[in-house]
Amino acid sequence: MQHGYKCEDCEVAIFPTTTRTELAWLKDRIHVVREVAKHTSNGLDLWMSEGLDFINDHAGHSVIIVARK
Ligand SMILES: [Zn+2]
């Protein structure tokens, strides 16, 4: 089972290589992660930057965590 983010407004989803727990963590702390991303020189983990980009792209939309087999 893979988990990812889905935008209910745009009907698009991404499935970064990580766990549901991590996705929920990122979504809950998106403001913190945004700040960290601005100040880090090493960059974020790939799944984290993918997730951050997606949530930024869909700011104000309804983004949920979904599962697929
Ligand atoms: Zn959207």
The pLDDT averaged over each successive group of 10 residues in the chain (69 residues) is: 97 97 97 90 88 96 96
With 0-12 / 13-18 / 19 or more C-beta atoms within 10 angstroms meaning exposed / middle / buried, residue 31 is exposed
How many angstroms does the Cα of residue 23 sit away from the middle of ligand 1? 17
Give the pLDDT score at 42: 78
Residue 25 DSSP code: H
Between the CA of 33 and the centroid of ligand 1 the distance, in Å, is 19
Q: Is 56 in a helix, a strand, or coil?
A: helix
- Ligand 1 is an ion; its neighbours by CB within 5 Å are 7, 9-10, 58, 61
| 58 alpha carbon – ligand 1 mean position (Å) | 4
Determine the pLDDT at residue 31.
94
In the chain, the number of structural domains is: 1
Expressed as residue numbers, the domain containing 40 is: 2-68
Secondary structure E strands in the chain: 2-7, 12-14, 63-68
> Residue 43: what pLDDT?
78
Residue 44, pLDDT score: 84
Q: Yes or no: say if 27 and 56 are a contact pair by the CB < 8 Å rule.
A: no
Q: How many angstroms separate the CA atoms of 39 and 59, rounded?
A: 21
